[in-house]
A and B are shown apart, each in its own frame.
Chain A
Amino acid sequence: MRTYFFYISILLCGVISAQEEKEKEEEKKITARDTLPPAEKYGFRVGVDIGRLIRTVLSEDNDDTNDEYTGFEILGDYRIYKNYYLAAEIGNESLLRNEENISVEGAGSYARIGADYNAYNNWYGMQNSIYVGLRYGFSTFNQTLNSYKIFNNSDYFPVPVRNERIEVDSLTASWVEFILGIKVETFKNLYLGANISLRRLLSEKTPDRFDNLFVPGFGRTNDYSSYNVGYTYSISYLIPFVKKKR
């Protein structure tokens, strides 16, 4: 809970300060009587997912190691035409799921590729966006079964925990996701962003003897559904290539 508030407070501060800067700029422009609309920047925007970094740090400090997580993600987009962006993310993450009857760790790398559409009508000179996006995601990873219990409705005979460690490599999975997000220019060319995504697993290669409990890039898998949700909090920098008139 506190984690979430922390993310929100960071982002809200950014949003407010961004708006204030724009306000000042706007006033300047009025006094200068500049009637030409400002140019729009086109370029490559690259950043990192701060949510994943914070989660990694918090997971290290946390003694209650129910979910041990490490991960990072690099994200980028390129504005190709007006409100359309090509977008991609690459990352690496691992999660140890200590469930009541089974303990499995999933670790590996992933990539997502797709496009964003900015549905937000910016004011003059503003480069913020409220966007929707689609991605195709692909992941290669391993699953390690650390320990497990035989589930038995009768507890008459003691059920020992099996600690036989089984690591299965070169597993793959693919999925599609729908994204809803926001990106705000806080300082010149520096953006803070947040998005949520709904993901649907398309295919997965599972170990012979058990299942994928965590797919890097996709997230935790569910026993009864192939859907999952995810979120990203990003900080990114725009490298402008060209400026075009609106």
Chain B
Amino acid sequence: MTSPSAPAVRRATPPALAPERPVEWPKRTVRTLANGLQVVLAESRAFPKISAQLYFRSGNAIVSNSAPGLAEMTATVVRTGTASRSSRQIEEDLRRMGASLGTVSGADSSAISASGLAEFSPGILELIADLARNASFPDDEFERERRQRLEELKVERTTPGFLANERMRKTLFGQHPYAVIAPNEEQVAGLRREQLAGFYRDHYVPDGSLLIVVGDFSAAAMLEQVEKVFGGWKAAKPEAPKSAAPPRHTGRHVHLVNLPGTVQTQVLTGNLAITRRDPDWYRMVLANAIYGGAFHSRLVLNIREQKGYTYSPRSGISALRQQGFFTVHAAVRNEVVAATLTEIFYEIDRMRALPVTPEELDSARNYLSGVFSLGVATQDGVVGQLSTVYLDQLPEGYLETYRERIRALTAGDVVAAARRHFDSANAQIVVVGDRAQIGEQAALFGPVTHYDARGNVIP
């Protein structure tokens, strides 16, 4: 290996950025089959693999008032048997195709996804279709999975991050279905196999659903395969029920989940915000990046790099389909719970009151446009972005125009978004930790309601 000769240098200032190369998102082939299934294909040929995701637009939220846990349990049991394959056969078929399978249910959707070697593409698609159409919900597999879920729930109840998220969602969403992130043990124990089969029959349908396939194939040939495998499937889509509105919060309120003896406190603050379809979305994303959404953000600089209160503080916007919310989280040592909350709100108030500096603005705009585009380099990254676009029904040019939209934003946009969507005065505060050590600190920020780890209010 020879290197062109260049003198070794020591320079005191960072080199300037070279001219930027355009990011080219793969061309999408989009078709809606006669049965109503929307198909989105994109070539990504660096590695001989494919990644396929089949989404149904019904998830945990649609049953969270009637049968919490039903959607996620249905997804779990879907992979354990079909009319022609046993649980063991399914797992062995996957392995011999070099494939991994996930069947999950989130708040708004349920998904069957598989990735594997491109040479086995037809078999991988056929397996997904078999699970989507012919799942048999064997009794013994259901009972086994139910018992496993009951044990997992017990572990979740000892996990501070889970307890904080659970309490925040209940607080922010009230009677709205998004209030529930997990069923309780009695609800899981009460599920019946027939309910799972019923949810599957009603919601695992082609009409209105979405199949994304990304990988090492030619789109024309893949479209033919998809039509062959999924074209004969027919079922009508379910009606979408109306949801209760989430509550309006007035004033700060503290929700303390008591875990006696813990050596650290999980702090989480939040307020309702917006969805990706809101006109303020890009402004909100930029405000979040400057506030606490990146390593180089005000929150991280303050409570990690200056004060050393915490390891990995961050803020984020969770954009569910009907409603988004904004949260700030940090796991801190018990002595600095009040100090941490003070800084969280100080930084929120500063975002709401004062314009960000031109340097911060420039830095955050570049950060977002670069990191957004990193996804283009991997199949999973492309699948992730395409699922955002097509599940949320964003405009066709969303991927291509994201960078210019972010770069067009001003300091005024950031203040405007912070004032509308970072709520300081009415923030809901969750702290998970040892009440004896943190109770007085928490009470400085508003009236306190105490809970045990099971979610019961305690005196």
- Do A and B assemble together? no
Interface residue ranges, A against B (CB under 8 Å):
none
